[in-house]
Amino acid sequence: MSGFFLLLKRDLILANRNRSELFNPLLFFILVSALFTMGTTASPELLSKIAAGIIWVGALLASLLSIDSVFRSDYDDGCLELWLLSSHSSSVLVLAKIVAHWLITGLPVIIVTPLLALMLHLPSESLTTLMLTLLLGTPVLSLIGSIGVALTLGLRKGGMLLPLLILPFYVPVLIFANNAVQVSASGLDASAQITMLLAILVLAITLTPITVVACLKLSVE
C-alpha cells in the first residue's frame, strides 16, 4: 500500500499547488444551485421538493467537469506509462488516483451541501438522507468517470466523447439517490435505495480498477 499512499499524497500536493483544480468544480457546483434559485420563481414548497435533484445534478456536473484530469497530466508527461510498468499493483495505483479525485471534487461538495440545502428549503429530516446518498454516490461518479477517461485518453478530442460515454451510467445513481431523499421526506424508510447505492459502490470499487488498468494499457500502446 506504500505506492497507494505515495501517489495519493502526490496528487493532493499537485492539486494544492494548482488551486483551480480545487476550487473550479466546487464553485461550479455552488453556482449551479444558486443560479437555479435565482433563475426561477418557484415557491419554497416546490423548491423543497426538487432540492435534492438540483444538488445531485450539480454534483454530477461538477464531477464531470474535473474527471478528465484524473489521468491526463500523467499521460502527457509520461508518468502514466512508468507507473503502469512499476512493481506496484496497477489497480492499487489507479484506485489512488480515483480516491484523490474524489477528495478534491466529491468531498468539498458534500461539505457545502448543508448550506445549499438550507438555501433550497430542503426539509431538515431529508438532509441526513441526502448527505448519505452523496457519501455513497459521489465516489461512484469518480469511479465510473475514470473508466470513460481511460477509454478516451489516447483519442484526439476525447474530452468531447467523454460525457456521451459516462452520463448514461450516472443515471442509476441519480435515480436511486433522488428517490431516497423523496421517500425520506415522505416519512418512509429509504433503506432499500440506500442499500442499492451501497451495492453499486461496492461493485464499482471491485470492478473499476481492473477495467481502468486494461483501458490505460490500450491507450498508452
Mean local confidence (pLDDT), 99-119 = 90
From the number of C-beta atoms within 10 Å of its C-beta (0-12, 13-18, 19+), residue 197 rates as buried
Global pTM value: 0.89
pLDDT value at residue 201: 95
Q: Which has more pLDDT, 36 or 133? A: 133
pLDDT at 177: 92
Residue with cell 450516472: 170
Query: So what's the pLDDT on residue 136?
Result: 94
Q: Where are the domains of the chain?
A: 2-220
Mean pLDDT taken over the chain: 85
Span 112-131, pLDDT tens digits: 999 988 888 888 888 999 99
The torsion angle over the Cα atoms of residues 70, 218, 92 and 157, rounded to 10 degrees, is: 10
DSSP string, 6-47: HHHHHHHHHHHHSHHHHHHHHHHHHHHHHHHHHS----HHHH
Q: Which residue in the block uniquely carries the three cell numbers 438522507?
A: 129
Q: Which amino acid is at 72?
A: R
Percent of the chain with pLDDT strictly greater than 70: 95
